[in-house]
């Protein structure tokens, strides 16, 4: 028997993957987890203030680290590498990680979460285009910078408030005629004198050679405008992280994995948990719940097969 053979292979080290690893290990299953960031994209959360049980706010990084340590203590093995390919051969799931190491398992849980979308404009990959204000906002500290945030939801609100502390001015740009974030974020934005809202406005082009130094805007009335900026932070939506799946599995039109009531996908033995699957709520709490349920049903699947 290969030393890299496990009961369950978990793709993703975010809240869903870490919880699945914790619960799977407690069920007595041998578990291997792929992912190079403990907590996944929770590092983008500055204050996790709506998770039951935490009376004081903690950062997403803290949450991810604690969940990682908890699963590790229960016996889950973390490769600390990303999975490049998940296939299925000879009755086993076969995974190859970024280091070329191969692992096999009787069951797999896809919990790779979502990746941020880019604007469909020319020069979309210029330097100075960011997705995490906590990570990259400090790069502009002390530069008298003008920064743009594109989006309308809570993530965009968090970016704007975070960047207002380091920038001279923050432009909050949304194609909608009103912000869709919750009231708490709107109140925080309205308290910041250096945040300007540009609603019913779209970014049509980035300007710059290697680094972005300006954007072209178009308003709902058809008015065009060019603005100089030092950086831009995007919060325009997400796409499911399923590129590594090399098996035939049913997805929604947007690419999310379809699951039944026991979180099983259309491919037998492959479950899905968290933001990567078709759901009506993308939250840390619901991802954790998915992870626990996926581990339970993975155990059931292994008993029956």
User: Average pLDDT of 66-82?
Assistant: 97
- Higher-confidence residue of 221 and 139: namely 139
In the prediction, which pLDDT does 152 show?
Answer: 95
- Higher-confidence residue of 124 and 230: namely 230
In the prediction, which pLDDT does 221 show?
Answer: 76
Q: What's the CATH code, domain 5-116+238-304?
A: 3.50.50.60
In the prediction, which pLDDT does 47 show?
Answer: 81
User: Average pLDDT of 211-219?
Assistant: 94
In the prediction, which pLDDT does 249 show?
Answer: 98
Mean pLDDT lowest for which of 63-72, 115-124, 141-150? 115-124
User: Average pLDDT of 43-53?
Assistant: 84
Task: Tell me the whole-structure pTM to 2 decimals.
Answer: 0.84
User: Average pLDDT of 169-191?
Assistant: 95
Where in the chain are all domains bearing CATH 3.50.50.60? 5-116+238-304, 129-235
> Does position 3 have pLDDT exceeding 90, yes or no?
no
Predicted confidence (pLDDT) per residue in 242-252, tens digit: 999 999 999 99
CA gap 20, 14 in Å, rounded: 10
Going by CATH, does the domain composed of 129-235 fall within 3.90.75.20?
no
One-character DSSP codes across the chain: --TTEEEEEEE--SHHHHHHHHHHHHTT--EEEE-SSTTGGGGG-S-B-SSTT-SS-B-HHHHHHHHHHHHHHTT-EE--S-EEEEEEETTEEEEEETTS-EEEEEEEEE---EEEPPPSSTTTT-BTEES-HHHHGGGGTTTT-EEEEEE-SHHHHHHHHHHHTT-SEEEEE-SSSS--S-HHHHHHHHH-TTEEEE-SEEEEEEE-SSB--EEEEEETTS-EEEEE-SEEEEES-EEE--TTB-S---B-TTSPBP--TTSB-SSTTEEE-GGGB--S---HHHHHHHHHHHHHHHHHHHHH-
For 251-299, the three-class secondary structure string (H helix, E strand, C coil) is ECCCCCECCCCCCECCCCCEEECHHHECCCCCCHHHHHHHHHHHHHHHH
Compute the mean pLDDT over every residue in the chain, rounded to the nearest whole number: 94
In the prediction, which pLDDT does 2 show?
Answer: 57
In the prediction, which pLDDT does 1 show?
Answer: 44
């Amino acid at each position: 028997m290969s030393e890299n053979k496990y009961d369950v292979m978990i793709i993703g080290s975010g809240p869903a993957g870490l919880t699945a690893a914790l619960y799977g290990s407690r069920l007595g299953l041998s578990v291997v987890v792929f992912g190079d960031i403990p907590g996944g994209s929770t590092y983008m959360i500055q204050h996790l203030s709506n998770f039951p049980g935490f009376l004081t706010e903690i950062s997403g990084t803290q949450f991810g680290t604690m969940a990682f340590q908890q699963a590790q203590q229960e016996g889950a093995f973390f490769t600390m590498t990303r999975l490049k390919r998940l296939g299925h051969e000879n009755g086993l799931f076969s995974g190859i990680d970024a280091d070329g190491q191969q692992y096999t398992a009787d069951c797999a849980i896809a919990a790779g979460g979502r990746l941020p979308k880019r604007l469909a404009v020319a020069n979309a990959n210029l330097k100075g285009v960011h997705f995490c204000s906590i990570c990259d906002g400090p790069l502009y500290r002390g530069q008298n910078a003008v920064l743009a945030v594109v989006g309308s939801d809570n993530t965009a609100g968090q970016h704007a408030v975070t960047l207002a502390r380091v920038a001279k001015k923050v432009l909050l740009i949304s194609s909608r005629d009103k912000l869709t974030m919750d009231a708490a974020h709107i109140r925080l934005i309205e308290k910041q004198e250096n945040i300007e809202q540009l609603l019913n406005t779209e970014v049509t082009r980035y300007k710059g050679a290697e680094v972005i130094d300006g954007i072209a805007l178009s308003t709902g009335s058809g008015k065009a405008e060019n603005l100089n900026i030092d950086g831009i932070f995007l919060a325009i939506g997400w796409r499911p992280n399923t590129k590594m799946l090399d098996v035939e599995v049913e997805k929604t039109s947007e690419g999310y994995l379809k699951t039944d009531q026991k979180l099983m996908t259309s491919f037998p033995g492959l479950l899905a948990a968290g933001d990567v699957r078709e759901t009506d709520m993308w939250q840390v709490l619901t991802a954790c719940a998915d992870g626990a349920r996926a581990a339970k049903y993975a155990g059931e699947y292994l008993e029956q097969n």
